[in-house]
Amino acid sequence: MGERWSFLILRASFNGLHHFEEFQSELGIARNILANRLARLVEHGILERQPIPEDRR
């Protein structure tokens, strides 16, 4: 997990970002890389995915 994007995502999360688009905008990270890093952080139990009830995806 010792990887640059993962660290930046965690830092942004601790600073109040919670939504995919917020991370992407703030960090300037490609969508595919962000999705991959978030999935790895969730897989390792570091972050938790919480779907938005209004979002029917």
What are the boundaries of each domain within the chain? 4-43
- Whole-angstrom distance, CA of residue 26 vs CA of residue 37: 15
Give the pLDDT score at 1: 46
Per-residue pLDDT of the chain (57 residues; tens, 9 = 90+): 458 999 999 999 999 999 999 999 999 999 999 999 999 999 999 999 988 888 766
Distance CA 46, CA 23 (A): 16
**CA triplet 56, 10, 29: central angle to 5 degrees?**
70
Q: In this structure, how many other beta carbons lie within 10 angstroms of the beta carbon of residue 10?
A: 15
Cα torsion 20, 13, 48, 55 to 10°: value is -30
